[in-house]
Structures are given as C-alpha cells and as structure tokens.
Chains A and B, each alone.
Chain A
Amino acid sequence: MLLAVDRISVFYGSARVLSEVSLHAAAGEVVFIVGRNGAGKTTMLKTIAGFLHPAAGTVTFDGKKISGWLPERVARLGIRYVFQDKRVFTKLTVRENIELAAFAAGVKLHEAIERVVQIYPKIETFLDSKAGGLSGGQRQLLLIGRAMVGSPRLLLIDEPTEGLAAGTIEEVLRALELMRGEVTLVIVEQNLAVVSRLADRIYCMKEGHIPAELSQPADIQNQACLETYL
C-alpha cells in the first residue's frame, strides 16, 4: 500500500472537519474522492500533503509516517499537491514556473520541459508567456505537467476540471490517462463523468466521513449509483 490514511481527525479551530477517516491507495491506482462542497475533500488532500496536521490518526506513505511533516518535506518524498483554483506563479513565465519545479526536483530544465510537453504538447507554443496571462485550462494543464517534473510517485489533485469547458476537460482527461501507471493519482472531483472514465476506486465523502467506497466498475460507471451516496 503506497498511501495509507488511518483514521485521521482534522479540526479547523474547534470545528471538526474530518472524523476518523481512512483511505488508501496502492501504487499505480487512480482513486477519486467525490462529495459535496464542504464534505472535507480538500481538507483530506491538504492533510496528506502536510498543509494541515491531523489531531489524531496517521498518514503513511511507502511505510513512512508523514503526518505532522512540513509540506516541503512531504513533497520531497515524491508527493505533489496540485491546488484548486489553478494557482500558477503569475509573475513568472511558463518556462520559469517549470524551472522552479525542476530546481526543486534536481532535474535539468530541458528534461523537465520535455516531460511537461509530453503531457501537454500545446504548451510548447507559449513557454515564454507570463503564466498570469494563461486561460484556466492552460493553467490547469501547466500545473499538472509541472507536478510531473521529477517523476513523483503520488499526485494529489484538487478539482482539476472545475470551471473548464468540455474540450479542455478532454485535454485534462487525456493528460491524466497518459500519466496512469506511471504515478499514483488521488483526485478530488465533482464532475462524475470524468470520475467514471478514470477511476479504479471511488471514495464518497460526506460531512467529514466516508460513508461509501466503490470498487466495482459497474458501480463506478453508474452515475446514478454514485449520486445516491452524495
């Protein structure tokens, strides 16, 4: 088991956002977390990534207990967190955005760029534009591509298709499909069509709990079935 989250409880101040929740992901799996707004999905990802620390429970990655670690230390183990809201470094160019990732991973810049281009070929045309001028879809793909620099082992992606047009969603899907097998994916998504196309397993989250875990393709691809849990 690559990633094991064991009964974590997370608070914001005195409000309990996650109540003894567990989940896991095996190497190479594509796992989705679905649920309504406020269910605690982002909190889950942030806790795994180290931006939040659980008050109880543990997060284990490749046998190591990483709960309580600083986010940069977690990242150096090979875990990448792709934030919601398509947060790129707007003042830097696309190339420079990748440069920072390459620097952090100890990878040569041109190799890093090749990696990103593999996942998102169109990016070659605007490598030297300021990232702030990119559209939502371009930013999202830059972020996903950038996260793949340095061959990470686990990607935590928060709502990659939020706010994107159908065509762009296809592009994101294609990129994620390319990455399947190379890296383990844990993705928070509200777009159930996307979920049913990619998922190996699904966790349904509701109010800080996980009432259901689906692993049968029949269940996963039946969207009505999913909706009953949300």
Chain B
Amino acid sequence: MISTLAYGLTVGGIFYIISIGLSLTFGTMRIVNFAHALVYTLGAYILAASLQNLGVGFFVSAIIAVIAVIPISYLIERFVIRRLYGESVDYAIIATYAVLLIGVDAIKWIWGAIPIPLSDPISATVALGGVQLPVYRLVIILISLLIFAGLEIFFGRTVMGKIIVAGLEDKEAVASLGISVDKYFAAAFTLGSCLAALGGVLYAPITAVNPYMGFQVLLICFAVVIVGGLGSIRGTFVAAFALGMVMSITGRFYGPAADTMVFVVMGIVLIFKPIEA
C-alpha cells in the first residue's frame, strides 16, 4: 500500500512538473501545444547523452538537459507558436503536432529508436512503514513540492509573475498599461518548456528513454490540465497528484489498465465540465 502511495505521488509529481508548461501555454496563448512532448523527450535524451558522452554525473547532466532545451523552446515559440496566436485551435493542434513529429524523427535519426535504459541515480532505498522505498522517488516528490512553492512565490510575489497572472486574465488590459505581454508569455513558454525537460530528466530513470515517450505522457498531461482546469496552476497541482494516484492504484490491481483509467477519468470530467477550447 505504501509503495503504491509513494509511486502515485512520484508519478503525480512528475506529471505536475510537465503539465505546468502545458497549462500555461493554453492559458496564456490559448494554444494546445503538442510540441510540449518533444521538449520533455529531449530533456530525457540530452540527459542520457550527457551521461554517456560527457562523463558527468546525473546532477550536472540534468542541468545541461534543462538548459539545452531553452534555445530549442525559443525556436519553437518564435517560429511556430507565435504564428498561431489567435488562430483556430485546430491549426494550433496540427502545427504543434507536426513539430512533435519532426522532432521525434530527428531524435530517431540522432539517437536511434532503441530504448535507452537509465539507472536510478540514487540507488539507495529507505525503509518507510515496513517497505523499502527508493530514495530517488522521494527526491522527486520533494522536487515537485519545491517547484510548487517556487511557482507560488513567482506568480504571487514577483512582478513578472503578476504580469503573467494578469495577462492570463486580460491580455488587452495589460497591453494598455504599456507592457509587452507577448514577451512575458514567451518567457512563460520557456519556463514551461524547461519544466517539461526537467520532468523528462526525472522520469527517465523510471521509464525507458525512447523516442515515443512523449506521446505516452502527453495524453496524461492533457488529462491533468483538463481535470485541473486550463490555465489554473494550482488546479494542475491537485489534478496531477490525483491522477498519479489513480494510475498507481489502478496499476496495482490491473497493471496494463493504469494509463487507460486516467483517460476514463478525463472523459468523465469532460462530460460534466466540457471546456471551451
């Protein structure tokens, strides 16, 4: 039971970290960004590449991965996302999906399609309630809580954060003050992408690094964003952990149905609270 709980929280934490970017992009730009999955996948791959080729430790590789993603995210924002402002949602979906396709193929080209297994960087366990839990998983939970706290401070206390909160609500009013809202939204996009890469880095040792890992997690993250409320950062937090638990508990009873259960939940939420998108 405890290991199920821990797993649920771990996975939930990772979903949270990845989903923030998705929620922000949808909230600020009203764009459903499939390319988010690409940044996530790249985070994992750059981590693996750094570990294997640069001979540096996990921590340093992780930092490299998160930073390396910034220019890529900038390119995506500048050349694709920005052109989708105000467009119909369908085109945004198709365009960002196309970016994802291109990216995944590029990954296959560079690194091949064979999954790369990564080992747990902290191969230690700790005893909790009679069960041996990998410390790594607890670290992930801790990191996600720290990020939550960090984002609360960012959006609640810094001017930049407040501009984004205001912009999420009323973009025109922010512009009328003389603030270039788009620059701040672009920054929010980059922030979200870095977090996605971090999610990829953290999740990599738990799952196998493969070119399609983005697809697998993307839909769950959409579910998180939908269940949590589009553009609601706190909602994403709650929904991520809730769905993580759903996945974990389902997985305990009927393994393969874990993912599917998440979609069932999403479907139920959508029935009762369809989103205007």
Contacts and interface: CB of A to CB of B under 8 A. Distances in A.
Interface string B101-128: 0000000000000000000000000000
Given A72-B181, A100-B159, A100-B163, A89 B173 contact: yes
Given A71-B172, A87-B173, A100 B162 contact: yes
Contact of B178 (A75, A88, A99): A75
A51 B162 CA distance: 22
B45 to A, nearest CB: 37
Contacts of B181: 72
Contacts of A88: 173
Contacts of A76: 178
B175 A100 contact: no
A202 to B, nearest CB: 24
A219 to B, nearest CB: 32
Contacts of A51: 172, 175
A96 B173 CA distance: 14
A146 to B, nearest CB: 8
B230 interface: no
A110 interface: no
Q: How many interface residues does chain B have, given as a range? A: 10 to 19
Interface in B151-181: 159, 162-163, 165-166, 169-170, 172-181
Contact of A75 (B165, B166, B169, B177): B177
A103 interface: yes
A206 B21 CA distance: 47
Contacts of B159: 99-100, 103
A71 B162 contact: no
Contacts of B175: 51, 70-72, 75
A89 B164 CA distance: 11
Between A81, A83, A91, the greatest number of chain B beta carbons within 10 A of the residue's beta carbon is seen for A91
B176 A90 contact: no
A101 B173 contact: no
B171 to A, nearest CB: 10
Nearest to A93: B162
B176 A89 contact: no
Contact of B165 (A72, A87, A89, A101): A89
A105 interface: yes
A53 interface: no
A49 interface: yes
Contacts of A101: 177
Given A100-B159, A103-B159, A91 B165 contact: yes
A73 to B, nearest CB: 8
Nearest to B167: A89
Interface string B126-145: 00000000000000000000
Interface in A37-80: 49, 51, 70-72, 75-76, 80
A178 interface: no
A104 interface: yes
B169 A72 contact: no
7 contacts: A72-B177, A72-B180, A75-B176, A75-B177, A89-B169, A89-B173, A91-B169
- What are the 9 A-B residue pairs with the smallest beta carbon separation, nearest first? A75-B178, A89-B166, A104-B178, A71-B175, A104-B177, A76-B178, A81-B176, A72-B175, A104-B179
